[in-house]
Amino acid sequence: MRTKQSNIVAYTHSLLQACTLAIFWLFTPSVLLHAAPTPTYTPQKPLTFADGSAQMRKGLSQYPALAEIVEGRFSIANADFNDDGRAEIVLMGADSNFCGSGGCQTYVVEFLPNKAIKVLVTAYFGGDIAMTNEKVDGYRALASVHQGRIEIANKRGTPMHAALHGKQIVYPMRVTEIQQTAKHPQ
């Protein structure tokens, strides 16, 4: 009887070791990912926005992806995010339809030579925003800045608190809208 019990104990012990090893290997990659250094970005000067005009509204509303944000008040800035010599535009909603406690909805739009556009990013920003000096996938990122520094998501109420806690508030360009041409090319 002792032999049978010792075999069960040995089997249970080896099973526990195997489970412990499996759990260790299962969680080790995620621990390593979290331990990997987070890139540090540096800001350029904050973007300068101007109120959107009726003429801008007329031109931009021809693009279905932009029609809604330019329907009301909006602000616009220009910056070359990919260093190709052509400025992309940054559209920011300026009325209650596009602004709330998390800031104002903001689009970065690249105009292509064939009268098409790519919406590179949509995000909510409150306060100043700037391009970063660093590029991700060929484009400079957009960052929330305060007093010349990129803000850190370290307190409740900061945009993207849960996802970015303790990290810089930086949004790399990720195409969120496929290329579109104007409904009525000019």
Separation of alpha carbons 122 and 95, rounded Å: 16
The structure tokens listed for 139 are: 């484009």
Name the residue ranges covered by the structural domains of the chain.
Answer: 1-36, 43-181
* Backbone φ and ψ of 177, nearest 5°: -140, 135
* Residue linked to tokens 């099973």: 15
Cβ 125 vs Cβ 92: under 8 Å: yes
Dist. CA 69–CA 92, nearest whole Å = 8
Q: Which tens digit of pLDDT belongs to each residue from 106-155?
A: 999 999 888 889 999 888 888 899 999 999 889 999 998 988 888 887 65
Look at the block and give the residue holding tokens 């370290």.
154
Low-confidence stretches of the chain (pLDDT < 70) are 1-38, 154-165, 175-186
In the DSSP assignment, the letter for residue 2 is H
| pTM for the predicted model, two decimal places | 0.70
